[in-house]
Structure 1
Amino acid sequence: MFNNRKYINQLKAENEKLKRKKEEYEDETIKSMNSKDSYKNANIKLMNEIGKLKKDIENKENSVCNVLDANKELSLSNNYLENKIKLLEQVIKQREENECRLNQQVVKYKGMLDKIDNYTRMLEGRGINE
């Protein structure tokens, strides 16, 4: 959002600079005119410049709006991805907990199997695993 604000401030500064330039141009043109024809030509030129400046300002305002819309879309996408990451972290944590429980059960049943194997050897003189 800071970059957008910076861009908007640059546009405002540029707009002010163009307004000052226009005023200076108007003052210089009026001072330098000697006849009605030169005044008329200068006025037409000035009107063309003003039209161009208005179009430029409008284009820059549209650019700012587009940047703000893109920023909003990126924020929404970022929130969506953050939620997905949290969900994946929960799934990974549950998987690790399940793996730990399964390893505990394997160790428990392996110990029971070893006990049964030892009893069988003692009673019959041979092991189950043989």
Structure 2
Amino acid sequence: MNLIKTLTFSLLFLGLISLFSSCETESTESLVRVRVMSSDSIPVQNAWVHVFSPGGSTVFTDPATSGQYWRKTGLDGWIDTLIGFDYGEAYLDVEASKGGWKGCNFVHAEQGQTSEIIVIIKPYGDLNNGCPQ
């Protein structure tokens, strides 16, 4: 009788542990990595990068961003930003500039994924810089 009680409580305890340990919440954030490079394929440091969602809604984890994110690139030309989602994906516009150079691109960010893009900056006035004219 004592063995049956011990076995029953052991199975119940193991069942509860497996139930609570297997419940993982899905990440509602995504990492977006942007690299800024010159037209000669050289990483550009200290370039301003503007990542934004078209429209007025914000997808960034910091509620003060109001749909826009500004940051300077590091020595390797990269910036990383976390964005939060209320839905599964977002298309973000990216503009990069430094001095008289500018480039544009977009990134498709999916919930829980890492997205990387490269923005090539070219002199202002160049029609092939990726920016809307």
Q: Same fold (TM over 0.5)?
A: no
Higher strand proportion (structure 1 or 2): 2
TM superposition score normalised by structure 2: 0.28
Larger radius of gyration: 1
Q: TM-score, normalised by structure 1?
A: 0.29
